[in-house]
Amino acid sequence: MIPETVRQELAGGFAGESQANRKYLFFAKKAEEEINFAPSAEVADLLKEVAELFRETAEEETAHAYAHLVAMEGVHDTLENLKVAFDGETYEYTTMYPASVQAAKAAGREDIARQFESTSSAEKRHAARYERMMQRLKEAYARAN
């Protein structure tokens, strides 16, 4: 058993490292976009190096996130992982995003509301895909036994 205080630290570490990974990947993409509009070859070449630096570091942050998730016992057998994933996506499209849409509309940000709506629709498609896969894997296991 992981002591609760340690579990919380691991959860915080996992969240932070995961976010750092995504953030660095977006920073890398931004640097690559700037290459298109660089004022000189020297700047363009350096921007390419910056993009590589961000991508490399992002990979290392992934390794950290993975270690924390494993330590906090967040990775299970595949059937259970599919269930966790399905539950997460279902929560997002049934509870989380509908509230986000309302909040954005109330603040007069129709554009952000539409972004939440599109995301929510995709989460629903994710949930359906996980559910179908869960069913297929269960049946395959049943046939194997």
Partner 1 sequence: MSTPTEPTVWGDLDKRFKTDTKKCYYCGICEPLCPAFTPLFKLLSREYEEQGAPATREEFGAIADLCYYCKLCLPACGIGVNFPRLILDYKIARVKERGQTLQNTLLMNQELIGKLSSPVAPIANWALANGLNRRVMEFVVGIDHRRTMPKIAGEPFPRWFKNHPPKKGAGTRKVAIFSGCFTDYYDPAVGIAAVKVLERNGVEMIYPQQRCCGIPMLSEGSLDKALENFKANISVLAPLAKEGYTIVALDGPCAMTFRQEVPQFLGTEDARNVGFRVRDINQYLSEMFKRGELDTNFNPVEGTVAYHASCAAKLQRIETAGFDLLKLIPGLTVARVDKGCCGFDGTFGFKKQTFDLANQVGAELFAWVKSTNAQEAITDCPLCKVQIADGAHVRTAHPVEVIARAYGF
Nearer to partner 1, 10 or 28 (CB): 28
Using CB under 8 A as the binding rule, the residues of this chain from 33 to 62 that contact partner 1 are: 33-34, 36-41, 44
Using CB under 8 A as the binding rule, the residues of this chain from 57 to 96 that contact partner 1 are: none
Residue 73 CB, shortest distance to partner 1, in Å, is 28
- 8 Å CB contact between 7 and 1: no
79: phi then psi, degrees, rounded to nearest 5: -60, -40
Size, binding site for partner 1 by CB under 8 A: 25
Nearer to partner 1, 37 or 142 (CB): 37
Using CB under 8 A as the binding rule, the residues of this chain from 100 to 129 that contact partner 1 are: 111, 114-115, 117-119, 121-122, 125-126, 128-129
Residue 130 CB, shortest distance to partner 1, in Å, is 11
Residue 128 CB, shortest distance to partner 1, in Å, is 7
Nearer to partner 1, 11 or 46 (CB): 46
Distance CA 127, CA 93 (A): 9
- 8 Å CB contact between 7 and 30: no
- 8 Å CB contact between 50 and 95: no
Tokens in use for 66? Answer: 């993975």
Q: Dihedral sign, CA of 137, 86, 120, 73?
A: negative
Cα of 27 vs its chain's centroid, Å:
16
Tokens in use for 105? Answer: 């509309």
Positions in the binding site for partner 1 (CB under 8 A): 22, 25-26, 29, 33-34, 36-41, 44, 111, 114-115, 117-119, 121-122, 125-126, 128-129
